[in-house]
């Protein structure tokens, strides 16, 4: 899996189409969760794109600078194509996100809104629960925070 990171205005129309199509495939269709995917935040985000050997987008996430979703930098819309699950692509995606954040923003706190069933996955990337659990679009979520080691 090859990863690259682009600001919104650097994405081609085809890339944006394909990353949104993957998000809809998983979040709307697979999880049976109608929600407003295009929320205006993509335009202010950096987009992490994972492509397979056939150049197809199989993983994506967006990195939001501080002040857009939370006071901290945030990672959202983390998604891996069902065909790639269990292969380590999700961990590679998160490692890519965290490395970019460190290089772009420094050693900063990062906040995420994680689906509750993925809490242990994010624990492996040093995210800890803030204790705030809630339903988002009918799916249990937990707010999690990464605090850099000084």
DSSP of 69-92: SSSSEEEEEEEE-GGGTTTTHHHH
Give domain limits for the chain: 2-146
Start-end of H helices in the chain: 13-23, 89-105, 119-123
CA 3/CA 84 separation, integer angstroms? 14
Neighbours of 39 (CB within 10 A): 11
Q: Which residues contact 91 (CB under 8 A, 6 or more apart)?
A: 124, 125
CA 54/CA 60 separation, integer angstroms? 16
pTM of the model: 0.94
Q: Which residues contact 93 (CB under 8 A, 6 or more apart)?
A: 3, 48, 50, 59, 60, 61, 78, 80
Residue 149 pLDDT: 84
Residue 135 pLDDT: 94
Residue 130 pLDDT: 97
CA 46/CA 98 separation, integer angstroms? 12
End-to-end Cα, the chain, rounded Å? 31
Residue 92 pLDDT: 98
Question: Could you tell me the two tokens for 28?
Answer: 């709307």
Residue 150 pLDDT: 67
Q: Judging by beta carbons within 10 Å of its beta carbon (0-12, 13-18, 19+), is residue 21 exposed, middle or buried? A: exposed
Tens-binned pLDDT, residue by residue, of the chain (150 aa): 999 999 999 999 999 999 999 999 999 999 988 888 899 999 999 999 999 999 999 999 999 999 999 999 999 999 999 999 999 999 999 999 999 999 999 999 999 999 999 999 999 999 999 999 999 988 999 999 999 986
For the structural domain made of 2-146, what CATH number should be given?
3.40.630.30
For tokens 């249990």, name the residue.
140
């Amino acid at each position: 899996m090859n990863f690259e990171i682009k600001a919104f205005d650097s994405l081609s129309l085809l890339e944006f189409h394909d990353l949104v199509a993957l998000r809809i495939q998983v979040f709307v269709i697979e999880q049976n969760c109608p929600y407003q995917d295009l929320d205006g935040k993509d335009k202010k985000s950096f987009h992490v794109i994972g492509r397979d050997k056939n150049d197809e987008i199989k993983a994506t996430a967006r990195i939001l600078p501080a002040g857009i979703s939370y006071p901290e930098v945030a990672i959202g819309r983390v998604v891996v194509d069902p065909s790639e699950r269990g292969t380590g692509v999700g961990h590679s995606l998160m490692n890519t996100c965290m490395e970019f954040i460190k290089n772009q923003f420094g050693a900063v706190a990062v906040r995420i809104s994680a689906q509750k069933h993925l809490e242990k996955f994010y624990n492996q990337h040093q995210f800890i629960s803030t204790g705030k659990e809630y339903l988002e679009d009918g799916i249990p979520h937990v707010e999690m925070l990464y605090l850099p080691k000084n």
